[in-house]
Chains A and B, each alone.
Chain A
Amino acid sequence: MWIRLILGMMLLTMGIFLSGCNGARESEEVAYIVAIGIDKAEQEGMIKVTYQIAKPNVEGNKGEGEKDTVLISNSAVTIAESLNLLNSTTSLVPSMSHVKVLVVGQELAREGLANMWGSLKRYREYRGSMFVLVAKGTARNFLEANKPSFNISASKYFETMLDSGVEAGYYLRVSFHQFYIRLKSNSAESYATFVDISDLTGKGEIATPKVAGSKVDGYTAGGIPLQGGNPIQFAGTAIFNGDKMVGTLSTTETRMMAMLLGNFNNGFLSMEDPLVPKKFVNVNLRLGSAPKIKVALEEGRPVIDIKIRLEGEITNLPSGINYEQESYLRLLEEQVNQVCHEEMANMIHHTQELKSDVIGFGYYVRTEFTNYQDFLQYSWCEEYSQAKINITIDTKIRRTGLMIRTYPVK
């Protein structure tokens, strides 16, 4: 009995001491990286990696206007090498476990990311949940320009910024894991949030509507006329073909994409008044149900049937026409259908031109094949650009807002 007890105790002690506390690391001995930026380095074949490291806010130590993060860049051949270089410049152990965003410079993105992605995915410290952004300029400039105007830290800023994207549907958030899944899939192409820095002059190209009946057209990041606040903008989507970025979608296109992906929460739509085209009507739209997408093959050519149900609420009627009435309401709904239909068709056409199926119609076409090998031979990416698209949009205006009818101003 005693021998067994002593042996047990010895084993336990050995277990405790030999297993070692080497996995343990006190929280203040670690440098928490909140954002990583990757750019092309000036040197050939090298990348420039920028780390945004959070500075723990020691009370009383923070000076006025001092940033709560440090930006450190270094150039290396691989990301892993760059991490080691970073270790040489900081006293703390860098940790990737709290990276919120991965920013890729446009130049690098257009050259291809395949080499990097694998190593990022494989090493356990990188979180699959970090978001992927593509910066119009360089990632370093983007991270530098980021000055959250509200009193929140950089990590919180990225979290809330990407969370709040659903409010308008003007940009989509995509996690590193989602990006990677699409990267290796042959049914869909990757996309990433498009970001840029604004010059804050308030002057920019005002987008003019390209679609009949619509009052506004989309912007891409950096183009939104802006004055004051944080200079960085999240707008639009960078779309990829394989691991190379091929183009961008504007905010309105992004919104149509969100509808097709089924994660369009709500957003305002401004359009011409159906009866008084000079005036505008404003409705708040949301998805009535998940989009119904069917892809059929007609003589080898894909035909994509899209059915979208939208529900809306009138938010502004300057013309004073009584659209709240059943008969007029139909007109309004028709107008929404027509605008959305056209915008969506344009968006899909745009992606078809770029041969980038970011919506993932490829997932729907798989049912047309008896086995996976057949599908692989089909080369969906090529065929997608030739696909025929049928869009049906069915809008129901459910509510008229807090007014039953508008009385003209007297």
Chain B
Amino acid sequence: MGKSMISNLITGIKDVLVYQPPDQPTPFVLNETATEKAEIDGEFFPPAAVAEGIRELEFMINYAKKLDAFMKKSSKDLRSKEKHEIVKKIKAEFEMIQTEWKEIKKYTQKNHSIDGMYNNTVISADISENQSMLESIYQLPVNKDVVIRSITISDQPKIKALVVFMDGLIDKKIINMTLLEPLMFMKNIQEHVQGEDFISFVMEECLPSGQASRIGSFKEVQQAINTGDAVVFFDGSGEAVAVETKGYEHRSIGNPTTEQSVRGSQNAFTEVLRVNTALIRTMLHASDLVTEMIPIGARGHSNCAVMYIKSIANEELVEEVKRRVNSISTDIITDSGVLEHFIEDFPKNPFPQTLSTERPDRVAIHLSEGRVAIFIDGSPFGHILPVSFFTLMHSSDDFSLNLYYTNMLRLVRWFGALLSLLLPGLYLAISTFHQEAIPTELLLSIAAARAQVPFPTIVEILFMEFSFELIREGGLRIPGILGSTIGIVGALILGQTAVTAKIVSPIMVIVIALTGLASYSIPDYRLASAFRLSRFVFVLLAMSMGLIGVACGFLVFIAMLCSLKSFGMPYLVPLAPRTVNGGDTIFRSSAYHQKRRSDALNTKDEIRQKDTSRTWITDSSKGGNDHE
């Protein structure tokens, strides 16, 4: 008794002193799904696939039941009534059931999709079948975005129809005026209009919409609904009609933000694919400008537009681009940069192998050169391919400005590119290995500036490079209003105080600032980042081997560029391999002198303009004479 009292006391004290977690409801833990476990165990059956399989079977059982009922009914009819009247009726019903069988045959022959999206399923003639399929695909009625509107059209006979669309992607006015109204007021249908005939009848006579197309599979149905079209199913028809009703909110066309230009067009692409392709059409009115749409992504169903001018672009190039885009098998792609990585030759190389631009005028120019442009839904950047290194160094308004001024700017740009690649490396190599190459005065002032800095030059360089990248990367994320202020504060104060605190020498600040500035003289953002990346390699090489290291590195760098290919076209063309210079490589010639298209593109039509592109020079004018 006493013992238990003591032990009770001890437990009491223990309860007071020792921490006991408070009672809480079971917290939520994100567990592994059953499929993941099954995958680890080696028995992988995705539930969606199982559900789809079950639905398939149900579908076939339904058909079998229908067939059974039809056979029973017809045998009964044949026995009971007069033949020639009934045969006609049976024949019609038999035809209907036969078409259904064809569809089932198609259905069973195809591979089964595994994501539960019924991508291979064809539309059934039975409207309730379609409705339950749609409900299963779109998770109705849990999912509130998809609207299924059930209507009845025409009086004789009454035909059930389903209008399916995605709320928010459509324009309600269009749905009401061009779809529901004509369908619901449709009165007279001849009885014999059935099946396919019926669809074409509706499309021809009842739908006052610009775009309407017949679709037969649920893959197309989903594509249409997911991109903002309305799909109309009719009872008794194995096909549906997709009607264009797109009307979603999007950003209006703005100014280019990353490729600003003083002269030249001020339009930029937006996120909507159709707007983008239209923007190009407004600049380039060629009739044989082809826009091919290739859907990408098993779930995303994003449209990828491949644009080219049929009479100019090399056919093999177009085929290859389409082949690569078609072969992509992934979940979803929403950005053109990601798409590029899926299709470019050397995705691990930091040098961009396409020209990413947000300017329709640039795309138009390059299309007329014989290049191919690709766009993807949701990305305000178009990609032009193939490109050479030199194209990436061109700017959009190069041709808008005076010839000599442009060439001066281009020289500045090339010099800037070289600086951004080599300057820190060269500075490091010369100031630590080859001091005899610096003028004595400068060397003495460098030595004086460095006298109180405790770190070797390489640490200085890495520290400053890191700070610069930090300012760049941090500045990108700072909210708009604060951005410029903090950028200035960061850059100025950091640079100034680092020097006064003797962490870096002032000359290093100059070197890094110059390098940073120079890297922004490169017109292409991704090319600039590739240069920035390579710069660190040069710094390391300079640290270990001085100018020899830099020279070796540069050799490897050039060799790497030479071996690079952009969609089959050498990256350094027309310099390596040497081909006909089109007059727009490092410097440009006058626009009226550039007779030929780029040789490396192997276009169908090499001639851009005649030799005498300005006939007014040779023609006699009707104006007054100079001597009068």
Tell which of A17, A21, A56, A98 touches B445, judged by Cβ atoms closer than 8 Å. Answer: A56
- Which B residue sits closest to A159, measured CB to CB? B440
Q: Other CB < 8 Å A-B pairs besides A17-B544, A56-B444, 11 of them?
A: A15-B545, A21-B544, A24-B433, A24-B543, A28-B448, A56-B448, A58-B451, A97-B435, A100-B440, A155-B444, A156-B441
Check if B448 sits within 8 Å of A58, measured CB to CB.
yes
16 residue pairs bridging A and B, Cβ less than 8 Å apart: A16-B545, A21-B432, A21-B544, A24-B432, A25-B432, A25-B433, A26-B431, A26-B432, A27-B443, A27-B447, A27-B450, A57-B445, A97-B436, A127-B436, A155-B444, A156-B441
The 8 A CB mask of A210-238 against B (1 = contact, 0 = none) is: 00000000000000000000000000000
CA A153 to CA B441, docked complex, whole Å: 8
Give the top 5 A-B pairs by smallest Cβ distance, nearest first: A56-B448, A97-B436, A24-B432, A16-B544, A56-B447
Is the beta-carbon distance between A32 and B444 smaller than 8 angstroms?
yes
**A387 to B79 CA separation, bound complex (whole angstroms):** 149
B515 at the interface (CB under 8 A from A): no
B452 adjacent to chain A (CB < 8 Å):
yes
Q: How far is the CA of A57 from the CA of B541 in the complex (A)?
A: 31
**In whole angstroms, what is the CA distance A57 to B442 when docked?**
11
Query: CA of A34 to CA of B540 in the docked complex: distance in angstroms?
Result: 31
Contact B441 A155 (CB under 8 A): yes
Distance in Å: Cβ of B502 to nearest Cβ of chain A: 11
Q: Mark A93-125, 1 if CB is under 8 A from B, else 0.
A: 001011010000000000000000000000000
B residues less than 8 Å from A26 (CB atoms):
431-432, 450, 456-457
Per the bound structure, the CA–CA distance linking A98 and B444 in Å amounts to 10
Produce 1/0 per residue, A32-75, CB < 8 A to B: 10100000000000000000001011110000000000000000
Chain B residue contacts of A56, Cβ below 8 A: 444-445, 447-448, 451
- Chain A residue numbers with a CB within 8 Å of B445 are 56-57
| Residue from A16, A20, A27 in contact with B431 in the complex, judged by beta carbons closer than 8 Å | A27
Q: Which of A16, A56, A156: most chain B Cβ within 10 A?
A: A56
B446 interfacial by beta-carbon distance below 8 Å = yes
**Interface presence of B424 (CB below 8 A):** no
Instruction: Identify B440's interface contact among A21, A24, A54, A59, CB under 8 A.
Output: A54
Residues of chain A within 8 A of B456, CB atoms compared = 26
Given A97-B436, A156-B440, the answer on whether A16 and B448 have CB atoms closer than 8 Å is no
B450 and A19: CB pair below 8 A? no
Using known A-B contacts A25-B435, A28-B450, A28-B451, determine if residue A98 contacts B443 with beta carbons closer than 8 Å.
yes
Are A27's CB and B545's CB within 8 A?
A: no
Interface pair B447/A30, CB less than 8 Å apart? yes
Within the complex, what minimum Cβ distance (angstroms) separates B447 from chain A?
4
Q: A155 and B440: CB pair below 8 A? A: yes
Residue of A17, A19, A25, A98 with highest tally of chain B CB at under 10 A: A98
A408 CB within 8 Å of chain B: no
Tally of contact residues, B, Cβ under 8 A: 25
Bound CA span A57–B433, Å: 22
Cβ of A300 under 8 Å from chain B: no
| A28 and B447 contact, Cβ closer than 8 Å, known pairs A34-B440, A155-B441 | yes
Residue B546 at the chain A interface, CB threshold 8 Å:
yes
The interface bits of chain B over 406-441 (1 if a CB of A lies within 8 angstroms of the residue's CB, else 0) are 000000000000000000000000011101100011
CB of A57 within 8 A of CB of B444, answer yes
- Measured CA separation A315–B446 after assembly (Å): 46
When the two chains form their complex, are residues B432 and A19 in contact, meaning their CB atoms are under 8 A apart?
no
* Interface-central residue, B448, B450, B453, B541, by most chain A CB under 10 Å: B448
- Using A17-B544, A26-B457 as known contacts, say yes or no to A58 and B452 having CB atoms under 8 A apart: yes
- Which A residues form the contact surface with B (CB < 8 A)? 15-17, 19-21, 23-28, 30, 32, 34, 54, 56-59, 95, 97-98, 100, 127, 153, 155-156, 159
Q: Which of B433, B444, B445, B457 has the most CB of A within 10 A?
A: B444
Q: Which residues of A contact B447 (CB under 8 A)?
A: 27-28, 30, 32, 56
CB nearest neighbor in B for A25? B432
Which residues of B lie under 8 Å from residue A57 when comparing CB positions?
444-445, 448
What are the residues of chain B within 8 A of A156 when measuring CB–CB?
A: 440-441
A98 in contact with B440 (CB, 8 Å): yes
Q: Which of B451, B452, B541, B543: most chain A CB closer than 10 A?
A: B451
Question: Given the complex, which residues of B lie within 8 Å of A100, measured CB to CB?
Answer: 440
Q: How far is the CA of A155 from the CA of B444 in the complex (A)?
A: 10
- CB nearest neighbor in B for A96: B436
Chain B residues with a Cβ under 8 A of chain A: 431-433, 435-436, 440-441, 443-448, 450-453, 456-457, 540-541, 543-546
Complex: A28 Cα to B443 Cα, angstroms: 9
User: In the complex, which of the residues A24, A30, A34 contacts B546, with contact meaning CB atoms closer than 8 Å?
Assistant: A24
A27-B431, A27-B446, A28-B450 known; A16+B540 contact, CB < 8 A: yes
Q: How far is the CB of A102 from chain B (nearest CB, A)?
A: 15
Give the CA-CA distance A17 to B544 in the complex, in Å. Answer: 7
| B98 CB, nearest partner CB in chain A, Å | 57
Determine whether the beta carbon of B444 is less than 8 Å from that of A95: no
Q: Which residues of A contact B450 (CB under 8 A)?
A: 26-28
Chain B residues with Cβ under 8 A from A19's Cβ?
544-545
Bound-state CA distance A30–B450 (Å) is: 12
Say yes or no: B440 contacts A23, CB within 8 Å. no
Whole-angstrom CA separation of A53 from B450 in the bound complex = 18
Chain B residues near A25 (CB, 8 Å)? 432-433, 435
Query: Once bound together, how far apart are the Cα atoms of A27 and B452, in whole Å?
Result: 12
CB of A54 to closest CB in B, whole Å:
5
Contact assessment for A54 and B432 in the assembled complex, using a CB-CB cutoff below 8 Å: no
Query: In the complex, how many angstroms separate the beta carbon of B510 from the nearest chain A beta carbon?
Result: 15
**Which residues in B have their C-beta under 8 angstroms from that of A28?**
447-448, 450-451, 453
How far is B546's CA from A74's CA once the two chains are assembled, in angstroms? Answer: 34
Q: Which residue of B lies closest to A17 (CB)?
A: B544
Residues on the B chain within 8 Å of A58, using CB? 448, 451-452
User: In whole angstroms, how far apart are the Cα atoms of A153 and B440 in the complex?
Assistant: 10
On chain B, the residues within 8 Å of A97 by CB distance are: 435-436
Q: Please give the distance in Å from A18's CB to the nearest CB on chain B.
A: 9
CB distance from B242 to the nearest CB of A (A): 48
Contact check, B441 vs A27: say whether CB atoms are below 8 A apart: no
A160 to chain B, nearest CB (A): 11
CB distance from B443 to the nearest CB of A (A): 6
Shortest A256–chain B CB gap in Å is 33
Min Cβ gap A30→B in Å is: 7
Contacts of B540 in A (CB 8 A): 16
How far is it, in angstroms, between the C-alpha of A156 and the C-alpha of B440 when the chains are bound? 8
- State A127–B435 Cα separation when bound (angstroms): 12
User: Which residues of A lie under 8 Å from residue B546 when comparing CB positions?
Assistant: 23-24
CA distance A17 to B446 in the complex (A): 27
Tell me the complex Cα distance, A17–B541, Å. Answer: 10
Contact of B448 among A23, A30, A59 (CB under 8 A): A59
B169 to chain A, nearest CB (A): 47
| Nearest opposing residue in chain B for A92, CB measure | B447
Chain A residues with Cβ below 8 Å from B544 are 15-17, 19-21
How many angstroms between the C-alpha atoms of A329 and B432 in the bound complex? 61
Given A27-B450, A97-B435, A97-B436, are A153 and B543 also a contact pair (CB < 8 Å)? no
A49 to chain B, nearest CB (A): 20
Please tell me which one of the listed residues B431, B433, B444, B452 contacts residue A54 in the complex, with CB atoms under 8 A apart: B444
B500 to chain A, nearest CB (A): 11
- Name the distance in Å between A400's Cβ and chain B's nearest Cβ: 41
**Nearest Cβ in chain A — how far from B557, in angstroms?**
14
CB closest chain-B residue, reference A127: B436
Given A54-B440, A56-B444, A56-B451, A27 contacting B543 (CB threshold 8 A) = no
Given contacts A56-B447, A56-B451, contact A27 B440 (CB under 8 A): no
